[in-house]
Amino acid sequence: MPVMGVSKFEGFFRAAASLDVDKSDIKRYNDFLDTKLHDLFIIGRAAAKANGRDIIEPTDLPITKGL
């Protein structure tokens, strides 16, 4: 389910980095983000389980200060 419409997404990239993107670029970017978020939550789930919890807490996610 898309969070942002295609035209808003294109406008964001155009304003932020002067890039022109099309629907295929957005599809690839969306697939990339889905994969990365899935990986992030797999690690978070393993960390929560190792700490004896069923709920993932923010400290379980490998997110650095720079992000």
Amino acid at 43: I
8 A C-beta contact, residue 21 and residue 13: yes
CB 49 within 8 A of CB 64: no
pLDDT the model gives residue 12: 74
What are the start-end ranges of the H helices in 3-62?
A: 6-17, 23-50
Model confidence pLDDT, tens digit, residues 3-52: 567 777 777 777 777 777 777 888 888 899 899 999 999 999 999 999 99
For residue 39, the 8-state DSSP code is H
Per-residue pLDDT, 10? 75
Q: What is the pTM of this model?
A: 0.66
- How many other C-beta atoms are found inside a 10 Å radius of the C-beta of residue 62? 11
pLDDT at residue 22, as a whole number? 76
Residue 16, both tokens: 């932020």
- What are the sequence ranges of the domains in the chain? 6-60
Q: What is the pLDDT of residue 2?
A: 53
Pairwise pLDDT comparison (59 vs 24), residue with the higher score: 59
